[in-house]
Amino acid sequence: MPEDSIAHIDFDELNRKAISQPLVKQIYTADPSAHVFNGKIYIYPSHDIDAGDAFDDLGSHFAMEDYHVLSINHPAETEATDHGVALHVKDVPWAEKQLWAPDAAEKDGKYYLFFPAKGYDGIFRIGVATSTSPIGPFIAQPEAIKGSFSIDPAVFKDDDGQYYMYFGGIWGGQLQRWRKGNFNAADASSPFAHLPNDDESALCAKVARLSDDLLAFDETPKDVVVLDEKGLPLLQGDNDRRFFEASWMHKYKGKYYFSYSTGDTHYLCYAMGDDPYGPFTYAGRILNPVVGWTSHHSICEFNGKWYLFYHDSSLSKGVTHLRSVKVTEIIYNDDGTIQTIDPYKV
């Protein structure tokens, strides 16, 4: 939501109308990745810290230097436990700054934290850190994942035990700079350089199967193609439906649901398919726009119900778009489609 729109919001009234409240209030958290480990919900968000810079489309106003792990025993809880710093950028040998949206996974009693960060060359890559506990502390691998790039890793475990990473984000997430296979540093100050034209196929998120130890890609990343109702790839100019960032994958009744943010138009959308690689057919919106610049989410099952974890800027009252993590239930229709959620009551 643009800065001039936020300036005219009555935040007290907005918070009364909000369908859910922030899970933590002592810090600002965003981009929540929620997982059930050992019967408890653990949430892996990014940590919004005001850098004191003016708002821009590259995210320079956020000094995101560490990760906290949150937990709740049930989605109905109104306050999460903050387990403190699980990983700090100073403990990641290859990373200089900007620990953006992370994700986590568990395998054989070991926990993995996947995260994007900018290296000392100014390029986003994706790293992994490990722990014996879901709350950390996490120990980072000495190098980023070979062949990784861009932002927003989301790791999905399929029913056969195979793990896949979905990732990518345009504008400040640099995905558009990799269109030819190598990083294009030209016009580095512009988030709009190297984007496709509006009448060209939209940039796609990426997916790669992970190695058995979850520390590397087991293949070259592939495009996650989202099709329209005619079976054609969505176009870059289709801003209300095309992928921007914030990939997530979940499975419901045998169908794969690829969900994502449209970024500058502020929708959380989803597409359905029969294979973890897709293609996926656009199916609708999960969440209408929240107060704050963009949306980022996860979807988690708990005790037979499904929940959307998301964020907005209601707690900070829009200051520099500092965000807070929230949760609400999602409802499926009989045909498998998801009922669109309005984040504020009319």
Q: Catalytic residue positions?
A: 31, 245
Residue 346 to residue 281: CA distance in whole angstroms: 30
Contacts of 10 (CB under 8 A, 6+ apart): none
State which amino acid sits at residue 298: S
